Each structure stands twice: as C-alpha cells, then as structure tokens.
Structure 1
C-alpha cells in the first residue's frame, strides 16, 4: 500500500542546492525532500509526504483529520514512518502452518 502522510514543516535547510526539511508527523520527525513544493515550503506549512518526498501542500485541518484517521488504524502510522534502516517488523499474526503433526 502506498500512503501519503501529512506533516508540518518545522525546519528547512539547503543541502547541495536541494531544499530539505524536518517534518513533524504528530510527534515523529523525519528529514524530507521539499524540492517538489519548494515555492511554498515555509515553516509551519503542512505537506503530504510519500517515500521521503513532500509531493503537495495540504491545509492544517485536513492534515489533522488524516493523522487522526491513521492513528485509529493502529500501527499503520508507525509502520509507514519507520526508518528504512530499522529491521522489518515481524507480522502481527503468525501465518497458519497447516495441521499439527505428531
């Protein structure tokens, strides 16, 4: 599943000519490329982030509604925002292994 997660820009920086920013996703912060929204990427603005890239701006009310919806789904928000270098989380439920043998 591909999700675009809303977050608030809390800092911006230029890295070798590329606009980057720190984005707060309701308490979880990540470094994000802001190049696609560079003209409107102001501190305090809300963006939709997909795979580390801010792909569009969104208003604050919509960002909060979406974050609340994602929180209601359990670990979805945490899973989507887990750093890539973290070990993959194990499945929540063990798959069926078929009938028991004795």
Structure 2
C-alpha cells in the first residue's frame, strides 16, 4: 500500500484485508510501489513476486482450509503494526 516516508525500511501492507507494517529492508535496491506483490514471512518482505506467483500462493493457502482461516483470524486479532498499537488497521 505504501512505503512509510519517515521509516523507509517499513511499508504498510494489506494481507487479506488486514493492514500491517512490515520490514522491507531485505529488498533494498528493489523498486517497490503500491500494488506490488510481496512474499512476507513473520513481518519481513522476502521477495517481490508477480501476480501469477501471488495467485498460486493464495490458492495453496486457501486449499489448506481451516488452518488458513484460523491463521487469518489470529492475524486480525493481533497488532504487529508499531504505528497502529490498537490493531484497528486504520490508515
């Protein structure tokens, strides 16, 4: 969604409707723009991927069913965003 102007190693992203700040420091030198697809693990951007790769990853996650639904529910209840300590996800 956006690179944070005062923290250029952080980006606010949308993960299945949940907004979070993630660290993009591992992608230094990569051109990142709103709308890009990023592979994220435990709050870190690991790589920029294309839309086909993102779609395949989402289809896999959705295919595992309840475990994916439980993970999304836990994500929505947590607050990992240092700029949103209440976890509302409002920008």
Q: Root-mean-square deviation (CA), in Å?
A: 2.4
State the Cα deviation string for residues 11-69 of structure 1 (Å, max 9, x = none).
11044x54211222232222111111133221111111111000111101110121121
- 2:20 is matched with 30
Name the CA distance, whole Å, in 2 between partners of 1:64 and 1:25. 13
- 1:76 is matched with 67
5+ residue gaps, structure 1, are 1-9, 86-102
5+ residue gaps, structure 2, are 81-91
Name the CA distance, whole Å, in 2 between partners of 1:77 and 1:57. 22
Largest Rg, 1 or 2: 1
Work out the number of aligned pairs and report it. 75
Q: Does 1:62 align with 2:53?
A: yes
The residue correspondences of 1:5-24 to structure 2 (distance < 5 A) are: 10-15=1-6, 17-24=7-14
Report how far residue 77 of structure 1 moved: 3.4
TM-score normalised by length of structure 1: 0.59
- 1:5 is matched with none
